[in-house]
Amino acid sequence: MIIRRFADLWRAKWVQAGFSLAWIMAVILLPITSLPWLVDLSGATTVAPPSVIFFLGLAIAWWAPEVLLGKRIIFEIKPFLLFLIVVGIAWAAALFLPVEPFRGHSIQTEYKEALITVVMAASVYIVTATWLSQHPQWVKITMQLINLSGLVLVAWSLVQALYVLLWDGHYANIIYRLQSLVSSRPGDLLFQDRVTGMAFEPSWLAHQLVLVYLPVWLSALINGYSAFKWRKGLISLESILLVSGVFVLFMSFSRIGWLSFLLALAYLMVLLNINLTHQIKKRLQVGLGRGRGAVFSGFVSTGIILSFGLGYFLMIAGLVWLGAHFEPRLARILTENLSTVTGFLDLTNRLFFAERAVYWTAGLNVFGTYPWLGVGPGNVGFFFSETMPSLGYALTEIMNMFYRFTFLPNTKSMWIRLLAETGMIGFTFFITWLFLVFRSARLAFKHGTREIQVLGLVGQLALAAYLSEAFSLDSFAMPYIWFCLGLVSAACVLTRRQHESLISPP
């Protein structure tokens, strides 16, 4: 009786309307990464995206009751749940490790923070995948919400870019006041030579652009799709936002963001090249017959591969030459005498990213010591004093981390963090899940409706970009990759249902 009354209340129109409003707010607020009052309330150091509050609310008030009332968990979520189980086992196993406190941090406090961030990531992914798969009518609305939030993000970033380009980053007071409403960054809220958007720092702006907004706008352009009625040829809101977003990405001067977007573009070019080759083969075989057409198509395919290979080489060379005019580290690669380099750490020191390499090396050394289940979520920083390479003692940033700052060291890379904290077992489960999502994206892109095809390509582009992005950020609390993977998983579910309805008997 109690369960029945709860189900009736849960299905009430006003309750469902509240869930819909929460979904709208979750998508609209994606550009904000560290809301000041939320940072104060949660006690977080930097990452406090308000959108995650609504995802968490939906996970507790909407998804969990759905499961309790008998709704099946969609297949795409199950591999991710297996990964979460491995994380829990790694957490339990780490209780038996000799972990010494570090500057006020204990294993209990770090477990609490790590658990919260993992739950945040799980909520974003599970709610997104389930919400859209159960509410297909919300796919287009969600695309519109992404465009609207991206429009505000790009517009605010362009305002900052004007101050950077025209007034050397000397912002008006009103700009600082507005930025203080959406960013908790201490000291200077804005950078004089870089665009921040509504994020905590420029690299986070690039992160959200390359994992959500740019893939959505680029995929819409490739698929000839717009979430709005207004469209004239190739000109649509998505194409305008794409051009503006690429400029904003450039003005963020995030090297990892640039590289991530280039990887996504490279993947897209490969897809287009494969499609072009298949079309040429098909036309030759139709025009010349199978025998002669197969021979000629082989020569043509070889010629296309060589031509595109040469084109890629020239494009990369041009980008490197152009980038050397904006990035001193890249310019040094072209001028540094690398014949005297004694090792990887020496190379990174000469190219001015030795600090990042020290974090990576320390994390890999932790993985080497505990290879199977790692040291548990949130614990890798406790082992840095034992695993850090000697170069770290000569670097100011590393020494400040040990003797001045109060936060626990981290790996600065999601890939290395997974290896160090969940071991080979957890890392394998995570990579397997990503591969399954990639397969889902391919399926949706090939066999879905126009809107679903857009989401399928979005997932492929975002995963290509994430290969690079995961070497820069290691926080589960950033919602962007989880949101994007949720979009893809929902798209695959909808594609599968569409084909099941076509082949099922009337």
The answer to whether the beta carbons of residues 197 and 248 sit under 8 Å apart is yes
- State how far the Cα of 49 lies from the Cα of 371, in Å rounded to an integer: 33
DSSP collapsed to 3 states, 387-410: HCCHHHHHCHHHHHHHHCCCCCCC
Single pTM value for the model: 0.90
Check pLDDT > 50 for residue 504.
no
Domain enclosing residue 313, as ranges: 269-325
pLDDT of 111 above 80: no
Tell me whether residue 493 is in a domain.
no
The two three-digit tokens of residue 133, written as one number: 């798969």
Whether 347 is in a domain gets the answer no
In a domain, 362, yes or no: no
Give the DSSP H/E element, type plus range, for residue 232.
Answer: strand 231-232
Which residue shows structure tokens 């170069």? Answer: 391
Q: What is the pLDDT of residues 359-417, one digit of tens each?
A: 888 899 999 999 999 998 888 888 887 888 776 666 666 666 666 666 778 888 999 99
How many structural domains comprise the chain?
Answer: 1
Spell out the residues 6+ positions from residue 226 whose beta carbon is closer than 8 angstroms to its own.
Answer: 220, 236, 237, 238
- Report if residue 279 sits inside a domain: yes
Q: Specify the pLDDT at position 309.
A: 65
pLDDT in tens, 200-216: 999 999 999 999 999 99
* Residue 57 lies inside a defined structural domain of this protein: no
Proportion of the chain above pLDDT 90, given as a percent: 44
Task: Answer whether residue 302 is part of any domain.
Answer: yes
How many other C-beta atoms are found inside a 10 Å radius of the C-beta of residue 59? 20
Cα–Cα dist 210/203, whole Å: 11
Separation of alpha carbons 438 and 433, rounded Å: 9
Least confident of 87-91, 182-186, 238-242, 323-327: 323-327
Rounded to whole angstroms, how far apart are CA atoms 343 and 361? 13
Kindly state whether residue 277 falls inside one of the protein's structural domains. Answer: yes
49 and 34 Cβ atoms separated by less than 8 Å: yes
Domain assignment present for 306: yes
